[in-house]
Amino acid sequence: MLNVALPKGRLGEKVLAMFEKAGWECPEIHEPGRKLIFENAENQVRYFWVKPSDVAIYVERGAADIGVCGKDILLEYAPDVYELLDLKTGICRMAVAAPKGFTDPKDRALRVATKFGSITSRHYASTGREIDMIHLNGSIELAPILKLSDVIVDIVETGTTLRENDLEVIENIVPISARLIANKASYKFKSGVIDAIRRSIEEQITEA
Ligand code: PRP
């Protein structure tokens, strides 16, 4: 049985379609309901819906053999997994954003609100700017509006959230997209099936 962790949400639906097109169908997963785990005994696959930021944990610890997660999670948590393929979907970027007209207060540490502490630390270590990091869990865009922070480091996809909150990107840090990842031991023992999935999905991406 191949255990596959899929990120709940729009990206997960798209990725599931890729897996099914690759031949690993699972009719049960399309039935309405709140079930989180689905199995097709015939083609030996089991899918489960996981919070996107948790996929890498399931894969790293072997609860899932493979999964799909954003490059942001791989950069932030550096899980001990194999990154097999860039799925060229879920495309966005990690960026620094600030209120329009922002100027850097050079006489003190820059207050940065983010969910991505490691990416933020590395970024400002590379520029040599001293920061005061404020860890938040969501709605990061609120922080500079309420003067909790000077800037934010967050994911920007369409830019709508920034625009509607009078913020703008002042620096791009890194491009992000969805990645196919594998548990290291699973990849050793199930490399045949995992490679077949990787190849088929890669062909779908090239054809698109
Ligand atoms: C992400 C990110 C931004 C938004 C950007 O939030 O944190 O808030 O998407 O997308 P946009 O550029 O298309 O507007 P997400 O929906 O992942 O939820 P979060 O509030 O938990 O971070």
Atom number of ligand 1 nearest to Cα 160: 14
pLDDT of residue 99: 98
Predicted confidence band of residue 64 (pLDDT cuts 50, 70, 90) = very high
Atom number of ligand 1 nearest to Cα 156: 12
Question: Looking at per-residue confidence, does 208 or 162 come out higher?
Answer: 162
Q: Residue 2 and residue 14: Cα distance in Å, rounded?
A: 19
**End-to-end CA distance of the chain, in Å?**
29
Phi (first) and psi of residue 23, to 5 degrees: 110, -5
Q: Which amino acid is at 21?
A: K
Atom number of ligand 1 nearest to Cα 155: 2
Q: Does an H or E element contain 165, and which?
A: none
Q: Does position 172 have pLDDT exceeding 90, yes or no?
A: yes
Give, in order, the Cα–Cα distances in Å from 115 to each of 66, 80, 129: 25, 20, 19
Binding-site residues, ligand 1, Cβ < 6 A: 138-141, 154-161
Atom number of ligand 1 nearest to Cα 161: 14
- Cα 183 to averaged position of ligand 1 atoms, centre (Å): 28
- Cα 6 to averaged position of ligand 1 atoms, centre (Å): 19
Average pLDDT over residues 151-174: 97
Q: Residue 82 and residue 185: Cα distance in Å, rounded?
A: 10
How do residues 69-111 score in pLDDT, each as one tens digit?
A: 999 999 999 999 999 999 999 999 999 999 999 999 999 999 9
pLDDT of residue 113: 98
Least confident of 31-35, 52-56, 138-142, 181-185: 31-35
How do residues 4-51 score in pLDDT, each as one tens digit?
A: 999 999 899 999 999 999 999 999 999 999 999 999 999 999 999 999
How do residues 119-150 score in pLDDT, each as one tens digit?
A: 999 999 999 999 999 999 999 999 999 999 99
pLDDT of residue 208: 79
User: Mutate which of 92, 161, 169 to test ligand 1's pocket (most atoms within 8 Å of Cβ)?
Assistant: 161
